[in-house]
Structure 1
Amino acid sequence: MNKVLLEKISEAFSSVLPITAIVLIASIILVPMPGSVILMFLCGAALLIIGMGFFTLGADMAMTPMGEGIGAQLTKMSNLILALCVSFIMGVIITIAEPDLMVLALQLEQALGIWVLIVTVGVGVGVFLAIAVLRVLAGVPLRTLLWFFYLITFGVAVYMFATGNDAFIPVSFDSGGVTTGPITVPFMLAMCVGVASLLGDKGSQEDSFGFVALCSIGPILAVLMLGLINNITHVNAGELINVPVLAAYTDRDIALAFLEKFPHMVREVSTALAAILVCFTAFQLITRRYQKHQLLRITVGFVYTFIGLVMFLTGVNVGFIPVGHFFGSELAGSNLKWMLVPIGVLIGYFIVTAEPAVHVLNKQVEDVTQGAITRKMMYTGLAVGMALALGITMIRIITGLPIMFILIPGYAFALLLAFFVPPIFTGIAFDSGGVCSGPMTSTFLLPLALGACAGVGGDMMRDAFGIVAMVAMTPLIVIQLMGLIYKQKQKQAAVLKEKHAAVLAALTPAEIGHITIYEEAAYG
């Protein structure tokens, strides 16, 4: 077990290292930061790496088998209503434990309250997880539901934009991205595979994707409704996040900051994981699905998950969020504010490997497609998508361009592509959108955007938020464009095969024998 843990920590180190190096180099050249700030960032990065290592191992041991077991059990339930209720409850509870959502909620603690946003988003995920299960059981094409629900979502968003109540639009689309992070993605992907595999129909490969895609819509609609109810039109920068004066920090202040945040994170993580543990215990008592050795492994996985989340969130809240905000505000407030665009593109390209859920998705894609879509292809496509997302986001923050002018054409194009690509690519693409917007996006890029917006004097609610939405949108287009290329290559291969068959049909048996002998000699 120790060897596996070290491997996970090593993977986390390799993932976080490029981003850490980019920030440190940029801080030396563009935004000189005090030694105390750099020390805080490095300490946060160290905790993040170790925490991510513990957490990913815990997710493999606990969340993945839980998801597969519950997904498989749902298909055996004779009572459809009960199956959907179980899906709803698990969706709510798993979402509440998601660290990315906690990070987003912390940004709005003063303006809205942490648990108001978390519960709202959890209900949205729960409803749409039940819808996702129902879709697979009923055999409804994924693109049909995507079109239906995104039309409703954008209808509400356009109404809010037209009436001037658009402050919550960026936050709502960010909510759709942060809910699909390192806890929910392994669980949902495993649950999706469990449901689809037991049905055993010809569409099971396509149905192995799409849970994350649908569950990303629920939070968007739920938070849009929350915005309509609250009618918040403007939020001051000071109401979003209390950023300490980092330049005045001493080494002692840094140590105290980590020590003070640690017990708070222990309480938050304990509350979240306790809810999951209670539900899992009830599930096990009712179904008796897991054997003793499996239960022991899942229990150890919970412990690893707890340790990882506490360390991860402590490092993020003390080391990454304030430093990201500081870096963004200092650079945006200087004469070099346009450097935010190339830096954003560079960070976006490399940050994909730092997202734990990306590794989970890419492995499943390669396994389900039996190597037709490789991990390398997925990484390249997602890296390009992330780079575009961050570049567009920085341009939007600097210019104040409304997010609806980007989201509407972007999603319209992505949904149109769904009619022209193989169905499996649509599921992969929309799952990828949620998977890319993981811990590194919410812990560093979101504070970076908040700081940049404060530096240029923009509207915090309308301009700063939305970076997660951009990250979630661009993979929808890039991965589906990969699907078009894949489809075209398949057609070319089929045409070539037909030509070869036609040539062989025109030859005599003796001529075919000579060709075979020649090919064997050529390859011998």
Structure 2
Amino acid sequence: MSQLKEFLGLLNHSFRNLLPIILVVGVFQLLVIQQVPEAWLGMVIGLLVVILGVALFLHGLELGIFPIGKNLSNEFARKGSLPWLMVFGFSLGFAAVIAEPALIAVATQAETISAGRIDGFVLRVLVAVSVGAVVALGILRIILGHRLHWYMIIGYLMVVTVTFFAPAEIVGLAYDSGGVTTNIVTVPLIAALGLGLAVSIRGRSAMIHGFGLVALAVMVPMISVQLYGILVYSFGEAAEVATVLPQVSDSSASIPQGGSHAGVGGILLGMLGDLIEMFRDVLPIILVVLGFQYLVIRKHIAHVHKVAGGFVLVIIGLYAFVVGLKMGLFPIGQSMAEQLIALDQWLFVYLFAFSIGFATTMAEPALIAIGHQAEEAAKGRLKGNTIRLLVALGVAVGITIGVHRIISGDSIHYYIMGGYALVIVLTLLTPKDIIALAYDLGGVTTSEVTVPLVTALGIGLASQIEGRNVMIDGFGLIAFASIFPIISVMSYAILAERLARRRSTSRA
């Protein structure tokens, strides 16, 4: 009975996470566009499938993966074994990201649009290896007691330098790949690992040293994916890039068909094949937690049947999520882009972008969790609601500017390089105990629901506006959603510190 209550709570949580998108889309459809999309029934069913898939996925994590992951982190921290901690950090980062739903969504879109030139699975493995390596580096940073700001300044200087040489087709995708690495799985696991280590080591501060693993996990994939793009687009003949995404006309078209098989049997066989693929995607995280549990810690798992059930729910939830994406969120993003452009009033496009960015971020569960942890670590100096408001405004402004870039046809290079140049300057001016938190907040702003919708919106705009290339102009909105929250939080921290100094000076 308690398990049922917990699942219903997660179902409610999943619905509340999706509700802001439903409200924003509903208001624009009824009051601005004043018409209903043709394939609205398939979209509604897709949204319901997404809600169910996310709830099953989260319930599976709570039952099977999180308890073992937390137990392993505590065991290694207690033993104080640096090599095993770093190996575990790498393995945990890799395994969590390779199964990340939002990364699967972006990689699938990239492979489709690039006509196979970008390999979706290779992209995911590359990002996962990058995150694993940087989590291991972040653990070493916490143990050595290094502050984060020099890591981030040097890292983003590398990002900007690589961007200067990267082909236009890969830049937006690279930044989006970095932005989607920290989500349902990675944020709770990685943030808990960093904060747990900082608290357990004498002389370390939770605010200064505990935060930052999420920020590093966002930054490094941006470099590696751009290097991959330089390699891919420098050798061999370019395939013709698709300019319009395949449209989903009805719900049956969205369900995997299993190759050439016909009828219900073929559909069921196709679904079974995709479930097996999902098991392959989740297998790394299963192998990591079980391998370290039995081979390194050498302890049996308590409640094995519950853990096994959790792994099964993770696989089924991932499958439902991907099917729901194809049926609901991707078509909604493309449909809204087409309908808003048809109005021939760009103001409504900007308003929609701002509203989606603000509404979805305020409801983002990972942001709420990080805000709560920051409020506790700062001992009341920071308020969780203030953090959420600053980040939501940053995301809303960022997505709006990103939409303007697509509409105007400007090169993403200058926006991204300028944005991170500003971040580097602000890093030098921001109070040191806020820097790591600000970077982490830039990495938790894009949820498993927001990412597919925002990605589809960008691709929809690029495919509908004459003269735009979907591969060059369609990606990048997620990157803007990651940069501007860092700017808004750092700017607020600088302003608050200066006001506090002025007040103390006037009192003296």
Q: Deviation string for 1:48-87 (max 9, x for gaps)? A: 2222233334434444444433444444566644443332
Q: Which moved more, 1:449-458 or 1:476-485?
A: 476-485
In 2, the alpha carbon distance for the partners of 1:187 and 1:63 equals 10
2:246 corresponds in structure 1 to 242
1:445 corresponds in structure 2 to 454
Larger radius of gyration: 1
1:118 and 2:124 aligned: yes
Q: Deviation string for 1:328-362 (max 9, x for gaps)? A: 13433552344211111111110114434223322
How large is the RMSD of aligned CA atoms in angstroms? 2.9
Aligned residues: 490
**Equivalent of 2:160, from 149, 154, 157?**
154
Q: Deviation string for 1:187-222 (max 9, x for gaps)? A: 111111222122132423321210010111121111
2:359 corresponds in structure 1 to 350
The 1:493/1:200 distance shift into structure 2, 3 A limit, reads farther
2:147 corresponds in structure 1 to 141
Q: Deviation of residue 271 (structure 1)? A: 1.3
1:193 corresponds in structure 2 to 195
* Superposition TM-score, scaled by structure 2 size: 0.87
Q: Which moved more, 1:354-363 or 1:474-483?
A: 354-363
1:421 and 2:430 aligned: yes
In 2, the alpha carbon distance for the partners of 1:277 and 1:94 equals 10
**Equivalent of 1:177, from 176, 179, 188?**
179
Which aligned pairs between 1:69-80 and structure 2 lie closer than 5 A?
69-75=71-77, 80=82
Q: Deviation of residue 8 (structure 1)? A: 2.2
The 1:489/1:304 distance shift into structure 2, 3 A limit, reads farther
In 2, the alpha carbon distance for the partners of 1:299 and 1:132 equals 31
Q: Deviation of residue 372 (structure 1)? A: 2.9
CA contact (8 A) 1:109 1:240 kept: no
Q: Which amino acid aligns with 1:242?
A: P
In 2, the alpha carbon distance for the partners of 1:480 and 1:147 equals 14
In 2, the alpha carbon distance for the partners of 1:277 and 1:169 equals 32
Which aligned pairs between 1:80-119 and structure 2 lie closer than 5 A?
80-110=82-112, 111=114, 112-119=118-125
CA contact (8 A) 2:146 2:209 kept: no
1:10 and 2:12 aligned: yes
**Equivalent of 1:407, from 409, 416, 422?**
416
CA contact (8 A) 2:138 2:213 kept: yes
The 1:236/1:367 distance shift into structure 2, 3 A limit, reads farther
Which aligned pairs between 1:342-491 and structure 2 lie closer than 5 A?
342-457=351-466, 458-488=468-498, 490-491=500-501
CA contact (8 A) 1:107 1:240 kept: no
**Equivalent of 2:289, from 266, 270, 280?**
280
In 1, the alpha carbon distance for the partners of 2:303 and 2:501 equals 45
Q: Deviation of residue 443 (structure 1)? A: 1.1
CA contact (8 A) 2:293 2:301 kept: no
Q: Which amino acid aligns with 1:22?
A: V
Percent identity (aligned): 24
Q: Deviation of residue 280 (structure 1)? A: 0.7
2:169 corresponds in structure 1 to 167
CA contact (8 A) 2:207 2:437 kept: no
1:340 corresponds in structure 2 to 349
In 2, the alpha carbon distance for the partners of 1:376 and 1:348 equals 17
The gaps in structure 1 that reach 5 residues or longer are 500-524
CA contact (8 A) 1:265 1:314 kept: no
In 2, the alpha carbon distance for the partners of 1:142 and 1:256 equals 44
Secondary structure of residue in 1 paired with 2:459:
helix
In 1, the alpha carbon distance for the partners of 2:305 and 2:433 equals 35
The 1:482/1:330 distance shift into structure 2, 3 A limit, reads same
CA contact (8 A) 2:325 2:452 kept: yes
Secondary structure of residue in 2 paired with 1:167:
helix
1:518 corresponds in structure 2 to none
Q: Deviation of residue 486 (structure 1)? A: 4.0
CA contact (8 A) 1:128 1:217 kept: no
CA contact (8 A) 1:74 1:195 kept: no
Which aligned pairs between 1:30-49 and structure 2 lie closer than 5 A?
30-31=32-33, 36-49=38-51
In 2, the alpha carbon distance for the partners of 1:320 and 1:492 equals 49
In 2, the alpha carbon distance for the partners of 1:209 and 1:159 equals 31
Q: Deviation of residue 103 (structure 1)? A: 0.2
The 1:271/1:231 distance shift into structure 2, 3 A limit, reads same
In 2, the alpha carbon distance for the partners of 1:217 and 1:256 equals 34
2:334 corresponds in structure 1 to 325
1:519 corresponds in structure 2 to none
Q: Deviation of residue 167 (structure 1)? A: 1.8
In 2, the alpha carbon distance for the partners of 1:302 and 1:185 equals 19
Q: Deviation string for 1:163-189 (max 9, x for gaps)? A: xx2321111111100111111111111
Q: Deviation string for 1:457-508 (max 9, x for gaps)? A: 3121221110110011111111112322443465467568x75xxxxxxxxx
Q: Which amino acid aligns with 2:383?
A: T
Q: Deviation string for 1:15-58 (max 9, x for gaps)? A: 31221122133234554666651112211211222222333344
Secondary structure of residue in 2 paired with 1:435:
coil
CA contact (8 A) 2:110 2:173 kept: no
Q: Deviation string for 1:222-267 (max 9, x for gaps)? A: 11111111116977552774333x3xx4x76678989678545523
In 1, the alpha carbon distance for the partners of 2:256 and 2:278 equals 20
Which aligned pairs between 1:251-270 and structure 2 lie closer than 5 A?
262-263=271-272, 265-270=274-279
1:132 and 2:132 aligned: no
Q: Which amino acid aligns with 2:291?
A: A
CA contact (8 A) 1:132 1:211 kept: yes
Q: Deviation of residue 374 (structure 1)? A: 2.4
The 1:42/1:194 distance shift into structure 2, 3 A limit, reads same
